[in-house]
Amino acid sequence: MQERRPLSDVQINKALLRNVLAAPLWFWGLVLLLALVVAAGAGAAGWMFNRGTGVLGVNRPAMWGFLIVNFVFWIGISHAGVMLSAILRLAYAEWRRPMVRAAEVLTVFSLMTAMLMPFIHSGRPWRLAYWAFPYDFARGIFPNIRSALIWDPSAVFTYLISSSLFILVTLLPDIAVIRDRTTGIRHKIYSAMALGWRGTPRQWRLQGIAGILLSAIILPIFVSVHSIVSWDFGMAVSVEGWHATIFAPYFVIGAVLSGVSAVVTLMALMRWLFKWEDHIREEHFDAMGRLLVVIATAWFYFFAMEFMFGLFTLEPQEVALRQLQVFEWPWSALFIIFILTAYFIPVPLWLFRSVRRNVAAMFWISIMVNIGMWLERFIIIVPGLLRKQPFTFVWGSYRPSPIEIIIVAATFCLVALGILLFSKVFPLVPLAEAKEGQILADQIKVGKKTIPAVMREE
Amino acid sequence: MARREVLGLFRDAETAAGATTVLHEAGVRQDDIEVLTGAPYPEGAFGEHIKRHRIYLFPMIGAICGFTVAILLTAGTQLAYPVVTGGKPILSVPPMVIITYEGTLLGAILFTVLGVVFESRLPRGKIGLYDPRITEGFIGLVVSCAADQWLAVEQALRRAGAFEVKHEQA
């Protein structure tokens, strides 16, 4: 797990700050392209605000469509940050070093994007603000905390604030490095942001403690966030297909699967775009592949349990829902694609070392998993709503409108744009982590073999 | 007595660690030496002693504050506009627990971050004696000494292997 090439601090600075100090031309081209799609999404949302939610494909009884599916999907992706950063930090996993920052940044941008979804979906976002936040002191009207839809923003915003602060604290030493490499107005801005960081042993010690302490506090938030998102569904009295106590852990593990897969996608892109082969190595993809086998299998167990418990009770609404999901067009086709891409194709492939160490293969498989995980949320939400009533005359259907498709496409570009712009201002791989990895790396001789080793400080 | 700072730059950690011994022999106290590095070295690598910090208190205080605010917010807002919804009591405990849980953890996080900044002695208006090459792998030893001792300290630093020495202007 240490196939690293010895690098000096100067080489690490040069490689990891290349984009911050002088972004290449392709970078701005990509930013422009993504910004155009995001603008199209903003235009589509604006059109909907102007014309009303009638321009969406939602209709009775399926009042939640692509936008809510996308909300759950992006909340799921956001679990990558904590899963990798916090757990691997707490476990002192050496291979965490190049990926923790990217995972945390992915968390923040996907959470921001996720929160846009219910705001847009409401069609009247200015009203949603006072349904969710207790600020309307003038009229004395406050959110109804007995609604699961209010627990949701409280958890998501706690997670968003926590993750953002986590990134900011761990960024301090890296901002100091940029401060030392810039001049003029940029130097002034980075100097202010570095807060006068000097790199004393006390400051480094507190950075280490901060990483562990914040990870430990964020972990319970991470578990609560997707649990509470699942309660948006599980606590809904009217939809029997969602009435499952297993929903919270099932959603959490599903979120971890899609989030960790998204980190693999991001790692591959970072390696290709920024030429960070020395930092994001095949061994890291290998480790992620092993981790994903475990996560995917745990997820599949919960999926199977949810399905089995639904059918074993033989409740008419449950049977009607499973019938719709598995046997009726087009849901049956989507169900097959979902289960193949989320589990049955990737997991057998990840069992092969040659696949896990093939960056291109890992990239495409991770995208495939997230196609499956997006469909999983769609299969849960839309068919669930379509069969929420026992009366066949209210069994309508759902077809996404072009407005919804544009908004969903724009969210993917929004997250990518956010991460790209972040990479222009701050390094996506933590410099201090990379340098510490070099300091602690060593070669030890065991018998006739010399093997790489890493010292670990408790 | 007026004090002055002298910065010695070293190319590697071993020489810098050895320099602290030379400085001790020259009569400099450990508390007057500050090590500046561009990466985290194992604690005690330069013979330094990190003074006590109270970082672990911050999350606890934050959690208590967050808990209190969340209880006040959930109870206060519901009592201010007491509408019965879903047949549940005005002060329904399960949802209050959920929001209080989030509030408690948010308070803990906010105070931890403040604690890290405060205990790191940041923000610092002026960076003081420093060299940008420290973030390129060089090790800086900043020695605080009596104003009339700086020349002796500079000589000790050079003797110990510092390739460059800077000092505050008098």
In this predicted model, what pLDDT tens digit does every residue of A289-328 receive, in sequence order? Answer: 999 999 999 999 999 998 888 888 888 888 888 888 899 8
- Rounded to whole angstroms, the Cα distance separating A149 from A377 reads 17
Instruction: Decide if A278 is inside a domain.
Output: yes
Alpha helices in A133-246 (DSSP H): 148-181, 184-194, 201-234
Interchain proximity A9–B137, CB inside 8 Å? yes
- Given a cut of 60, is residue A1 above it in pLDDT? no
* Residues of B in Cβ contact (< 8 Å) with A7: none
Give me the count of residues in chain B: 170
Judged by a CB distance cut-off of 8 A, whether residue B27 touches chain A is: no
Please give the mean pLDDT across all residues of chain A.
89
Judged by a CB distance cut-off of 8 A, whether residue A3 touches chain B is: no
Instruction: Decide if A1 is inside a domain.
Output: no
Interchain proximity B96–A207, CB inside 8 Å? no
Residues above pLDDT 90, as percent of chain A: 57
Q: In 3-state terms, what secondary structure has residue B101?
A: helix
Instruction: Decide if A86 is inside a domain.
Output: yes
- Minimal Cα–Cα distance from A124 to chain B, Å? 23
Of A158, A196, A202, the CB nearest to B102: A158
* Residues of B in Cβ contact (< 8 Å) with A438: 39
Contact map slice: A 196-235 vs B, CB within 8 A: 196-210, 213-214, 217-218, 220-221, 224, 228
**Separation in Å, CA A92 to CA A162, A165, A458:** 21, 21, 9
Interchain proximity B50–A201, CB inside 8 Å? yes
Least reliable range by pLDDT among A153-167, A230-244, A346-360, A375-389: A230-244
Tally C-beta pairs within 8 A across A and B. 186
pTM exceeds 0.90 for this model: yes
Confidence of residue A254 (pLDDT cuts 50, 70, 90): very high
What is the predicted pLDDT for the residue at A244? 81
Instruction: Decide if A140 is inside a domain.
Output: yes
Mean pLDDT across the stretch A324-352? Answer: 93
Confidence of residue A373 (pLDDT cuts 50, 70, 90): very high
Confidence of residue A2 (pLDDT cuts 50, 70, 90): low
**CATH (domain of A125):** 1.20.1630.10
* Residues of B in Cβ contact (< 8 Å) with A224: 98, 101-102, 105
Contact map slice: B 37-76 vs A, CB within 8 A: 37-43, 46, 48, 50-51, 53, 55-56, 59, 73-74
Domain boundaries, chain B: 3-51+127-167, 57-119
**Fold for the domain defined by B3-51+127-167:** Alpha-Beta Plaits (3.30.70)
Interchain proximity A145–B85, CB inside 8 Å? no
* Under 8 Å between Cβ of A325 and A307: no
∠ at Cα A425 (A422, A428), nearest 5°? 55
* Under 8 Å between Cβ of A95 and A147: no
What is the predicted pLDDT for the residue at B1? 64
Of A140, A228, A435, the CB nearest to B98: A228
Confidence of residue A339 (pLDDT cuts 50, 70, 90): very high
- Rounded to whole angstroms, the Cα distance separating A77 from A344 reads 20
Judged by a CB distance cut-off of 8 A, whether residue A274 touches chain B is: no
Instruction: Decide if A63 is inside a domain.
Output: yes
For chain B, 170 residues long, give each residue's pLDDT as a single digit of tens.
688 889 999 998 889 988 888 888 888 888 889 999 999 988 888 888 878 889 999 999 999 999 999 999 999 988 988 888 878 888 989 989 999 999 999 999 999 999 999 999 989 888 888 999 999 999 999 998 888 888 888 888 998 888 999 887 65
Instruction: Decide if A2 is inside a domain.
Output: no
Least reliable range by pLDDT among A40-49, A82-91, A368-377: A82-91
Instruction: Decide if A3 is inside a domain.
Output: no
Nearest residue in B to A227, CA atom: B98
- Given a cut of 80, is residue A240 above it in pLDDT? no
How many helices (DSSP H) and strands (DSSP E) are in chain A?
19, 2
- Rounded to whole angstroms, the Cα distance separating B65 from A318 reads 44
Strand partners, B140: B9, B36
Of B106, B126, B135, the CB nearest to A176: B135
Instruction: Decide if A375 is inside a domain.
Output: yes
Total domains in the fold of chain A:
1
Residues above pLDDT 70, as percent of chain A: 97
What is the predicted pLDDT for the residue at B71? 95
ipTM surpasses cut 0.90:
yes
* Residues of A in Cβ contact (< 8 Å) with B120: 172, 197, 202-203, 206-207
Confidence of residue A456 (pLDDT cuts 50, 70, 90): low
- Hey, what's the torsion of the CAs at A41, A45, A50, A56, to 10 degrees? 110
- Hey, what's the torsion of the CAs at A429, A433, A437, A440, to 10 degrees? 170
- Given a cut of 70, is residue A16 above it in pLDDT? yes
Judged by a CB distance cut-off of 8 A, whether residue B82 touches chain A is: no
- Given a cut of 80, is residue A178 above it in pLDDT? yes
What is the predicted pLDDT for the residue at B29? 87
What is the predicted pLDDT for the residue at B28? 85
Contact map slice: B 105-144 vs A, CB within 8 A: 105-106, 108-110, 112-113, 116-117, 119-128, 130, 132-137
Interchain proximity A146–B92, CB inside 8 Å? yes
Q: Please name the residue that has the structure tokens 């319970």.
A: A220
What is the predicted pLDDT for the residue at B36? 93
- Given a cut of 70, is residue A103 above it in pLDDT? yes
What is the predicted pLDDT for the residue at A389? 73
For A104-125, the pLDDT digits (tens) are 999 999 999 999 999 999 888 8
- Rounded to whole angstroms, the Cα distance separating A361 from A367 reads 10
- Given a cut of 70, is residue A454 above it in pLDDT? no
What is the predicted pLDDT for the residue at A455? 61
Least reliable range by pLDDT among A16-25, A83-92, A442-451, B7-16: A442-451
What is the predicted pLDDT for the residue at A365? 97
What is the predicted pLDDT for the residue at A181? 93
Structural domain harbouring A281 = 9-454
Nearest residue in A to B76, CA atom: A142
What is the predicted pLDDT for the residue at B61? 97
For the record, the structure tokens of A268 come out as 């591959």
B116 contacts: CB under 8 Å, gap ≥ 6: A169, A206, A207, A209, A210, B55, B58
Judged by a CB distance cut-off of 8 A, whether residue B1 touches chain A is: no
